[in-house]
Copies of this chain bind each other. A is one copy, B any other.
């Protein structure tokens, strides 16, 4: 792999700082984690967005959350066709091998992926509709959510679609047989959240109310 380059020096220095402080102060725990393996309580599915780090929001310890991050925190529908499905593989591993007790889908405001889906579905982004656009084909997962908010005025539609990204993912989660089975047995529960980046608020989907409510 000739093309690989050295790590930028500022990251080397930061790593060395971490090694001398955080790692050094927690060596015993890192060694236990290495020797005993991980036993995370929850899987979190969140966006790749650099502004949303779930470990910060929830003061998470190393070993606490199994975290999958993709564009717009989407879970595709169950489709065991033998192709490479990274999200489905992460979900299967978390539920069947690690036996996590929770799957938490965390959406957020100002999501570029969701904005792209809105543009695509409303005909303003033909480049995303090309079969060769990975982003466009990925965001197609959210199209059923778009249909439910298509009639909203422009200024409200994107915010509503960010929450649909959480709901569509929760719906698709339940289409996986191993998720359904664990939920039926009472060993797995699923949760929907949406974070407003600028305000620092967190909304939780309330199934009884049928809407998101601020915590």
Contacts and interface: CB of A to CB of B under 8 A. Distances in A.
Interface of A: 1-41, 43, 48-51, 53, 55-71, 74, 76, 80-94, 97-102, 104, 109-110, 112-113, 131-135, 137-141, 167, 170-171, 174, 182-183, 185-193, 196-202, 204-207, 215
Given A50-B63, A90-B48, A205 B4 contact: yes
Contact of A17 (B21, B92, B132): B21
Q: How many copies does the complex hold?
A: 4
Given A1-B170, A138-B84, A7 B104 contact: yes
- Main SS of the interface on chain A? mixed
Given A21-B17, A25-B9, A205-B4, A34 B85 contact: no
A66 B39 CA distance: 16
Contact of A206 (B6, B12, B86): B6
Nearest to A197: B34
A68 B93 contact: no
Give the 5 A-B residue pairs with the shortest CB-CB distance, closest first: A17-B17, A34-B198, A89-B138, A23-B200, A20-B20
B207 A4 contact: yes
A202 B56 contact: no
A182 B28 CA distance: 9
Contacts of A37: 110, 112
Nearest to A94: B48
A6 B55 CA distance: 19
B101 A198 contact: no
